[in-house]
Structure 1
Amino acid sequence: MNYYLSNDNVELIPYNKKHNKKTVKWLNDSETKHDFGLTKNITLKEHRKWLQDQNNVCLWAIYEKQSNEHCGNLILFKNPNHRSAFFQIYIGDKRYRKKGLSKSSLIVMMNFVFHHLKFHRLWLNVFSTNYKAISLYENLGFTKEGIERESHYYKNNYKNQVRYSILKEEWLIKEGIK
Structure 2
Amino acid sequence: MKGIYAAVLPVLLISLIFLAGCTAAAPVTAVTPAVTSTPQVVYVTVTVTPEPEISTASTTAAPVIPAITTFSPTDPIIHRYVYKYMTADGPMGHELKFYPGGTVDYRIGFITTISDNIIITNIVSEASGTWVTLGDMSYYIKVLPTAQGGAQIIRQFKLVPAHEDPRYPGIVLPEQIIGSDGSVLTRTIKD
The normalised TM-score by structure 1 is 0.28
Name whichever structure is richer in helix by fraction. 1
The normalised TM-score by structure 2 is 0.27
Question: Whose radius of gyration is greater, 1 or 2?
Answer: 2
Name whichever structure is richer in strand by fraction. 2
